[in-house]
Structure 1
Amino acid sequence: MKTAALPLAPTVATSPLVYVKLVFVTLFWGGTFIAGRIVAHALPVMTAAALRFAVASALLLLVAWQREGGLPRLSRQQVLATAVLGLTGIFLYNLCFFGALGRMPAGRAALFIALNPIVTALAAALLLRERLTAIKWAGIGLAFAGAAIVITRGDPVGALRDISQSVGLGELLMVCAISSWAAYTLVGRSALKGLSPIAATTYASLWGLLFLTVGAARDFASVEWSAIGWQVWTGLCYLGAFGTVLGFVWYYEGVKAIGASRTAVFNNLVPVFGISLAALLLGEQVLASMIAGGVLVAAGVTLTNR
């Protein structure tokens, strides 16, 4: 899972290791769709999300203590802002994420997530009155055309005749996940001045864990814990440690070293790794429409990021 924070200025000297780490970050995030699909088929959605962020929150607290000496005291505004972050980017996003992966292939879900920066840019233009240039509008149009190809499996015209055959609950949940992430990003951009990325993300994760635990309390007693295999526990640890904490730390090391815009380009690798790992580990079919649509989405995202 990616995280939003204030932009950091690039440093003068850049180690090649930064670029290697960013490639691994996108590999980690691509792998979250495979781990998420395994977990989503074994546990209730709320329980899966709560366990993921139990792991992530514990590790983030360790990172905050090691790198920043602990968490700062929050103002009232920051308490409210971090609670909204936990509600949107942790609680709602993960409910939709796990819910979608329980209903659709991991590779298709990974392609949806590539639309995150597009939806965020549109939301910023509508809600914050940020100006979009002609090139950015072209990129948005190109990305949505690619998404239409992916969603309809290469047959947009046929999908219009029977939309229920192309757009199911899984696809709708992924759209909701993207929308909740856009809200998370915009709140983080405007309301968390004065907090470091680590502090903001740790507080958001703790709030999200609280919301998820309350929601999952009813399911805990009904889960047959002894029947859960090692694959599910491994998936949960992967989601919390690699997909959340290590991915977050390395991603913002990249932002600090080479700037936010250049770092964001690496996000185009997430669906590539997601589709590849889904085919390799889950045996999912790679459709020509997924490749064609994915290329258009990546091109549109690149234009919009410019």
Structure 2
Amino acid sequence: MKTASPPLVAPLVAPLVYVKLVFVTLFWGGTFIAGHIVAHALPVMTAAALRFAVAVALLLLVAWRREGGLPRLSRQQLLATAVLGLTGIFLYNLCFFGALGQMPAGRAALFIALNPVVTALAAAMLLRERLSAVKWLGIALAFAGAAIVITRGDPVAALHDISQSVGLGELLMLCAISSWAAYTLVGKSALKGLSPIAATTYAALWGLLFLTIGAAGSSAAVDWSTIGWQVWLGLGYLGAFGTVLGFVWYYEGVKAIGASRTAVFNNLVPVFGISLAALLLGEQVLASMVAGGVMVAAGVTLTNR
């Protein structure tokens, strides 16, 4: 009796997931270019609120198509998603757009590579999660690389005049990374009983509420007739590709190949960010950015092992 041949569909799943994850990092690298354009045309609060107006509309559609809508929240879940909205949406985007208004997009993209390292360090300090010697080495290597990027390759000189190396943009990006670390840690408890799509949609709704309240004053002063198509295109990109499609495909990767293997792809975000900034914005790529970026990527890889 002839045995049935195995299905041909399964082997094609993993390569498709890897392709999607590369595109996710491309989308996220592009957010620095779109954010740079938007941040120089609109007030910070207004820009962030418009981004998440687009994102919330699409997330609600995704939640309805994939899960039949949003579940009713318990009081604890309501509080947890509100904290997610405050940290990962409101504070992160406030710092993100603020930083891009002060510094080059490619330089800002390098900072974002520190996210997994700062999150691991915060988990060790606040949640008492144990870190191995290899992870501590990774953290030290990543922060050493970040110091090279921040000081433009001269950490010793920066100690004598720190204001010349660390400006408002750098401080805002460090605050953005800290906000995202808080979002990630709170998300561990918020996701209990909630799907990633539901938790993210509720967080985005809370974040949009906070941002809309904050943008009420600044939005009234905007001369909307002077806002060009590039800004509207940037906002659409940030909401659709940088937020919704990136999120959905990223969690498809987590489901298919696991969180650790998926997280390694985050190392491509600064690569795409720097490349796109040089190509589209004409920004200069410094040797210190390349050297520091490689060290940060190596440190993140060790920390994620």
Contact kept in structure 1, 2:139 and 2:303, CA below 8 Å: yes
Contact kept in structure 2, 1:149 and 1:290, CA below 8 Å: yes
Contact kept in structure 1, 2:40 and 2:101, CA below 8 Å: yes
Note the aligned Cα RMSD (angstroms): 1.0
Residue 221 (structure 1) shift: 1.4
Q: Which residue of 2 aligns with 1:230?
A: 229
Give the SS at the match of 2:128: coil
Matched residues in 2 for 1:12 and 1:73: separation?
38
Residue 15 (structure 1) shift: 2.9
TM-score computed with the length of structure 2 as normaliser: 0.96
Contact kept in structure 1, 2:190 and 2:199, CA below 8 Å: no
Counterpart of 1:30, as a letter, is G
Q: Residues 27-55 of structure 1: CA distance to partner in whole angstroms, max 9, x if unpaired?
A: 00000000000000000000000000000
Contact kept in structure 2, 1:14 and 1:258, CA below 8 Å: no
Q: Which residue of 2 aligns with 1:101?
A: 100
Q: Which residue of 1 aligns with 2:163?
A: 164
Counterpart of 2:44, as a letter, is V
Contact kept in structure 1, 2:37 and 2:234, CA below 8 Å: yes
Q: Which residue of 2 aligns with 1:145?
A: 144
Residue 13 (structure 1) shift: 7.9
Counterpart of 1:163, as a letter, is I
Give the SS at the match of 2:98: helix
> Is 1:84 paired with 2:80?
no
Residue 12 (structure 1) shift: 9.4
Q: Which residue of 1 aligns with 2:45?
A: 46
Matched residues in 1 for 2:218 and 2:262: separation?
39
Q: Residues 67-97 of structure 1: CA distance to partner in whole angstroms, max 9, x if unpaired?
A: 0000000000000000000000000000000
Counterpart of 1:86, as a letter, is G
Q: Which residue of 2 aligns with 1:206?
A: 205
Matched residues in 2 for 1:103 and 1:254: separation?
34
Figure out how many residues of one structure are paired with residues of the other and give that number: 296
Residue 192 (structure 1) shift: 2.8
TM-score computed with the length of structure 1 as normaliser: 0.96
Q: Which residue of 2 aligns with 1:127?
A: 126
Which ranges of structure 1 fall in alignment gaps of 5 or more residues? 1-10
Matched residues in 1 for 2:113 and 2:42: separation?
26
Matched residues in 1 for 2:209 and 2:132: separation?
40
Superposed counterparts of 1:3-82, under 5 Å: 14-82=13-81
Q: Residues 252-299 of structure 1: CA distance to partner in whole angstroms, max 9, x if unpaired?
A: 000000000000000000000000000000000000000000000000
Q: Which residue of 2 aligns with 1:3?
A: none
> Is 1:276 paired with 2:249?
no
Matched residues in 1 for 2:14 and 2:20: separation?
10
Matched residues in 2 for 1:217 and 1:279: separation?
35
